[in-house]
Structure 1
């Protein structure tokens, strides 16, 4: 091989290696520290649209990250509700990477306030990004640190439930409990305990503010089987199970 061809080959190999490494790093950061979309952009005030609606609030789980079509459980629930004439439309207000403080800020937007006020059904997924702390909690895991996050953030979760319930006293409101995406990690059992404490606190708040807490903890027991390729968000099958669980709670609540 001529010298210039050898040098070209080495240069291209190095470039590909760098690009591959960057790709892996980007994928890791996208999971552990997902981009937080802009949620405070002012929207134009529009006339209210008549008819019952289903509003979905929350983070990347509400957005549907991990599903093959990028839509997740919201349209699975929404389309069934429309077919059953329970609602006339549904709206996904989920924000990828959102934390509780982001959702609280979003709830102050005029358009969001009006959407909530007119909603018949509201679902919420929030808290995972707070508890997992953008992946930092895995780097130097401490159960004491995790419990500290829980102690700090549960009052904020209560603010969220209170705000949404006050915005709409009559809506059926559902909160999706957290699952453990880190079961296979060395600290998986400890994380199980932390997440169960979070979910138990959420259930207590749910009783106070008439928010139904949907248990998804047991839907994720095997990361390879139950999660998408990022080993963090649900795959299509798990999103379907989440939708089925939520739909069952909605159906029972509406009948009551």
Structure 2
């Protein structure tokens, strides 16, 4: 089974991103920073937050689903706010998406929030609401179940330091996984955690029996050349049994986001 985790950057590099996902087609795709704007047929919109202005792909969720026609597509919104078509506001939902190949039956799932709750009337104040999604799938090739959870960790404008909110977020995330996992399952957690390698978030996962693969593999970071700021770590993937890992890498090329895809083979 191949599992990929990626922050899609709102589809800023949608062309390379869609081509890469169609070619790679992992059995399970955990995608963060996904836009879903069902009220518009526009292809591109603009996100505005003070001086922060970023192009967004209006219906990235539908476009990814279209290039992965053999996958079940699940969108998990964190908030609905306004993106912009020139000076026209367009209601748009922002959150996570999970895509699971039809060869893997989904036998359990839980969706919830690891920070705040759903924001229906705007993206909210920083640090904003963060959702998470946990899936339990059955791998008939191996004759066993695998439980997978993803989140997009909260962004704190002060930086990626440890905070009470981040510690609480990690505990809620692990608890969400336990809602679907059963004894004997291989457990996988992944996402853009928005923390540094020595963080309390990763320590809590280690205490929960997980082996984190980015730091264990001595990778030099998880951000692509499109990310110009200091601090090259954000994305992580951990497993409950390292012996089940056949391969793991941080994909440097092609560049499809300001984050690198994390690719795990079990």
Which bin holds the TM-score, normalised by the shorter protein? 0.3 to 0.5
- Give the structure with the higher percent strand: 2
Q: Which has the larger radius of gyration?
A: 1
TM-score (norm 1): 0.36
TM-score (norm 2): 0.35
- Give the structure with the higher percent helix: 1
